[in-house]
Structure 1
């Protein structure tokens, strides 16, 4: 597995495993927990070591249970989770309590990457939340900290008034919306980009182009998209409930796309 360094020197696997429907009935986002860790078990067996979770997903314990019961040591895994700010910020006490719940559910005394999940319309509160993450980082509980779904204005706020630069901005980047401008902004400020749901957006026309490219290398459309992203130094977190497709998403390190391939994919 290829890893890349974040701006604080921490290494992050460039391909991770999305988890937002894992362990849920019907594989549905809003499904109740089934009480098993099947998808995590498969992912570990396939070679995934980077797992992307979040408080919002209501299944951090699925990740925690799956990693805990593996025979691998905690330090072999890279765990991301996120503070649920989809309804804004409910104060410092709330944030501390939610963070402690995450540590308990994930069954770990540290988190490799902790993110603010979404910005909201209150700059002072965003800075307060960021200062809490900075404190956990300074105490070694978070090995790296970052943000998710932040636009330039929100990043500028933290870059100007925060003390620690975000290591990551996790954003939408997929076929039909590569988000080139924001990725360039992230890169300019030495902030790594993680693409969530990187395999969405592939319509029939895009799939035809991707299949044509993939046929040159014996790869699928999905593998071509993931390869395109990592060749741009974008970290990807694909998700599948199928063991074989999980494995395919890791099988992208034995070919390189041509400049013409890049042009065709960028135009999708």
Structure 2
């Protein structure tokens, strides 16, 4: 039975609302993706984040088709891979993603990485602008863009990205990227919001979790939400999928938020060097 959960939303600069808490499928094999996404939808998630390079868009599509949920009740994101950058190639890649997903439109389409050595992200962005103008995508954005990439993109194009999806968690807070987004009205979306579990043993996080009767993962996700970010935790374990969604019934104090802020151990502005780029 599908659960209805009221997840807060973020109003994007395109004028649409995006659920602040979604479900990510990075590194989930395609043959396991349909079951994981079905579990997430049953738990109450309504935002699903995938990418062409993940190789599991078909699995996401199967879960959506089998869910019985109205398309307008879902928010689906996919991403353009590096090898598909360039104006015409981007349009083809978008259509291929739609075909694999079995959908007529995406809610959000992102350039997965800037890949500055190829210097095609401006051409790719113009293709995304066309998709948006044609009503084939409800919002367009980027992923893993540093401030310099954002400034160039905005300076040479007609549409400001709606979202910048970056690696962001208590140990890597990407503050310069967040600040650049705030200057331009770009929502920040955190991938790896739990640092693949790496921050869940931090003493400050454990102490706060004990104080609230919550798990460390719930505390970190709550920290993200209260600071206005979009998060897409990933799990294939049903109990953890449900746990990650159950973060709406408590609030962290200003001191608790500050204690987690203090865990930032990296002042860089870019993606972590261990980040997946294929």
**Do structure 1's residue 46 and structure 2's residue 43 form an aligned pair?**
yes
SS in structure 2 at match of 1:119:
coil
Judge conservation of contact 1:112–1:144 (CA < 8 Å) in 2: yes
- Which of 228, 241, 247 is matched with 1:246 structurally? 241
Match of 2:250 in 1: 255
Structure 2 unaligned spans of 5+: 1-6, 264-278
Give me the whole-angstrom Cα distance separating, in 1, the residues matched to 2:69 and 2:19.
Answer: 16
Q: Mapping of 1:109-120 within 5 angstroms?
A: 109-120=104-115
* Conserved 8 A contact 1:175-1:201: no
Q: Secondary structure at the match of 2:165?
A: strand
Q: Label 1:130 to 1:36 Cα distance change in 2 as closer, same or farther (>3 A).
A: closer
From 70, 76, 81, the counterpart of 1:73:
70
**1:62-141 correspondence to structure 2 within 5 Å:** 62-85=59-82, 87=83, 89=85, 91-121=86-116, 125-141=120-136
In structure 2, C-alpha distance between the alignment counterparts of 1:225 and 1:178, rounded to whole Å: 12
Deviation, structure 1 residue 200: 1.1
Contact 2:171 2:199 in 1 (8 A): no
Match of 1:21 among 27, 31, 38: 27
| Matched residue, 1:7 | 13
Unaligned runs of 5+ in 1: 25-32
1:61 aligns with 58
CA distance in 1, matches of 2:117, 2:204: 43
Tell whether the 8 Å contact from 1:61 to 1:105 is kept in structure 2 after alignment. Answer: yes
Q: What is the SS of the residue equivalent to 2:89?
A: helix
* TM-score, length-scaled by structure 2: 0.88
State the TM-score, normalizing by the size of structure 1: 0.91
Structure 1 runs of 4+ with >4 Å offset: 201-206
Q: How does 1:156-235 map to 2 (within 5 A)?
A: 156-200=151-195, 202-203=197-198, 206-235=201-230
What is the SS of the residue equivalent to 2:31? coil
- CA gap 1:245/1:92 in 2 versus in 1, 3 angstroms: same
Query: The residue matched to 1:216 in structure 2 has which SS?
Result: helix
Show CA shifts across 1:91-124 (max 9, x none).
4332222111101111111100000000022586
Q: Distance in 2 between matches of 1:145 and 1:257?
A: 32
**Change in 2 beyond 3 A, CA 1:183/1:213:** same
State how many pairs are aligned: 257
Whole-angstrom CA distance in 2 between matches of 1:40 and 1:204:
25
Query: How far 1:201 sits from its partner (Å)?
Result: 6.0
